[in-house]
Amino acid sequence: MIKDITIGQYVPGDSFVHKLDPRVKILISLIYIIDLFIVNSFKGYIFITLFTFVVIVISKVQFRYIYKGLKPILILVLITAILNLLMTEGANPPLFHWRFITIYKEGLILAAFMILRLVFLIIGTSLLTLTTSPIELTDGIEKLLNPLKKVGVPAHELAMMMTIALRFIPTLMDETDKIMKAQMARGADFESGNLIQRAKNLIPILVPLFISSFRRADELAMAMEARCYRGGEGRTRMKQLKLTSRDLIASTAMLCLVFISILSRMWV
């Protein structure tokens, strides 16, 4: 389960999506997330599903990466759906009632919408990191935050911190998996017992994981200092970001999806 987390991983490639400007990909991802909450009908989600499927095919990212990214959130999706299903009241008579369990049509629809939104949210963010290298992601975030420098916001430092945090998610997951296997080889049991007992059993994992994380952070800081890293002031880049016709095509496709989503709200 731990190795199934794909957020933060990068899959090298030369597809149309890989070659897009990182600034455009970040903005498209943000608009895509907003669009998921604009849509309030199943007709709109048909277009979002088609758009997402086409992007996955064009990016040449294997579907197993998408599936692996969805597996860790299945429990969260189910809990969210059940809560919306049971706690949403409707104006019409309930579809089902048994003791304290009452299910309305409105709750069923809202639960379905929440499942779709969470699933597509994970797919969209996973595609961003799977098709964008950490260096490109840092440059893209920094360029987008550059206007905030006028009010004293350290754009480069913020971009660097966010990218490092995102980049080390797979590393920490891999480290956690190794620690768990080492502890299980010594007789540790992480699956039996109640919830409280399982939480206590995680202590032998958390302590070495924190120590390993601090050690990696210290090694990274020393490596950056040894390479004379002093922040973004006066820093140059070997590859300059330039917008191309590909970025225009991708942006137009995203705007078309937003336009269709707005129309789908009017059709309801």
Identify the CA nearest to 122 among candidates 45, 7, 254, 25.
7
Distant-in-sequence contacts of 35-40, Cβ < 8 A, 24+ apart:
35/257, 35/258, 35/261, 36/116, 36/117, 36/120, 36/121, 36/124, 37/117, 38/258, 38/261, 38/262, 38/265, 39/261, 39/264, 39/265, 40/113, 40/264, 40/265, 40/268
The rounded distance, in Å, linking the Cα atoms of 178 and 205 is: 10
Q: Which of 21, 19, 15, 16 is nearest to 241 (CA)?
A: 21
- pLDDT value at residue 136: 84
d(CA 146, CA 168): 24
Instruction: Map residue 245 onto helix, strand or coil.
Output: helix
Amino acid letter, residue 8 = G
Per-residue pLDDT of the chain (268 residues; tens, 9 = 90+): 445 555 667 888 888 999 999 999 999 999 999 999 888 888 888 999 999 999 999 998 888 888 877 877 788 888 888 888 888 777 777 777 777 777 878 888 888 888 899 999 988 888 888 898 877 887 888 888 888 778 877 777 787 787 777 777 777 877 888 888 888 887 777 677 676 777 777 777 888 888 888 888 888 888 888 887 776 666 666 677 788 899 999 999 999 999 998 888 776 5
For residue 232, the tally of other CB atoms under 10 A from its CB is 17
Q: What is the pLDDT of residues 9-38, one digit of tens each?
A: 788 888 899 999 999 999 999 999 999 988
pLDDT of 142 reads 80
pTM: 0.77
Check if the beta carbon of residue 107 is closer than 8 Å to that of residue 90.
Answer: yes
**Domain ranges within the chain, ordered by starting residue:** 2-267
In contact, 130 and 10? CB cutoff 8 Å = yes
